[in-house]
Amino acid sequence: MTATAPRRVDIVGIGAGDPDHVTVQAVRALNAADVIFLVTKAAEQDDLVGLRRTILDRFVEQEPRLVEIRDPERARGASAAAQAGAVARWREARAQQYRSLLARELAEGQRGAFLAWGDPTLYESTLSVVSGLAAEVDVDLHVVPGISAMSALAARHRIPLNRVGGSVVITTGRRLADEGLPDAAGDVVVMLDPDCRFADLDEPGLVIYWGAYLGTEDELLVSGLVSDVAQQIVELRAAARARKGWLFDTYLLRRRR
Ligand SMILES: C[S@@+](CC[C@H](N)C(=O)[O-])C[C@H]1O[C@@H](n2cnc3c(N)ncnc32)[C@H](O)[C@@H]1O
């Protein structure tokens, strides 16, 4: 009986928009891959696909096979419950797609790599989808951390994410709208907020550190009291989105102590 050689999959964090975010560990993992899986979304803009291609052109010296996958379409739910159902259905569709992809494209003993935006462990479903399949499809799973939008935001504003001994909550725009600012948190990082939910907060002394297109040549940074700069950010955001057709932004809300 011959032993089967394990297949390996690396989920590789590529940073939040600047090719210089790509780490040495990521470069090594990409160069060791026989197959690189490029996941694109129907609504995704050329810029985002282009950045992934720039990273491959710049850092990958071998000639791995590139396999492009179109992410299943994802419905949006009006309420949190409807949204959770839509996400569950989308994850299942994705799991099925990846199950057949890994069986079809990765031979025994080969290595595959998925590119994950920012850090693969933060608001990124590739890791959980592949890790849910790892035992079933018999792959050895590895994760290469990346620079997240949150780290890029703090670095560009030259601020620590936490204050001495304090906690930081990371949340989404939807949760901020549904639940308000978490009671116990002094500092709150908000991602995935297309609706400028910060503008609805009415807390005296609340400071925002906002960044869009972090790490790219279109980067925008604004900071100040929410009461002073919210409208400026809303307008800046709308104009930038209209100009480019897409926008990624992240912000930190800092309570007065
Ligand atoms: C699907 S999540 C992916 C997060 C990613 N895994 C990370 O570690 O940053 C997408 C969200 O990340 C944030 N984001 C990603 N890249 C960004 C960038 N270059 N500038 C600002 N925000 C960014 C935005 O909040 C966006 O809605």
pLDDT in tens, the chain (257 residues): 556 778 999 999 999 999 999 999 999 999 999 999 988 876 666 778 888 999 999 999 988 899 988 887 777 777 778 878 888 888 888 889 999 899 899 999 999 999 999 999 999 989 999 998 877 888 999 999 999 999 999 999 999 999 998 999 999 999 999 999 988 888 999 999 999 999 999 999 999 999 999 999 999 999 999 999 999 999 999 999 999 999 999 999 999 87
pLDDT of residue 80: 73
Residue 117 Cβ contacting ligand 1 at under 6 Å: yes
Question: In 2-136, which ranges are E strands?
Answer: 7-13, 35-40, 65-70, 111-116
pLDDT of residue 44: 61
pTM: 0.92
C-alpha–C-alpha distance, residues 63 and 31, integer Å: 8
Residues 6+ apart with CB under 8 A from 1: none
- Expressed in angstroms and rounded, the spacing between residue 69 Cα and the centre of ligand 1 is 20
pLDDT of residue 40: 80
- Expressed in angstroms and rounded, the spacing between residue 20 Cα and the centre of ligand 1 is 16
pLDDT of residue 105: 93
Question: In the chain, which ranges are E strands?
Answer: 7-13, 35-40, 65-70, 111-116, 139-144, 168-172, 187-191, 207-212, 220-225, 249-254
Q: Which residues lie across from 222 on neighbouring strands?
A: 210
Residue 213 Cβ contacting ligand 1 at under 6 Å: yes
- Expressed in angstroms and rounded, the spacing between residue 193 Cα and the centre of ligand 1 is 10
pLDDT of residue 3: 65
Residue 176 Cβ contacting ligand 1 at under 6 Å: no
Q: Count H helices, E strands: the chain?
A: 7, 10
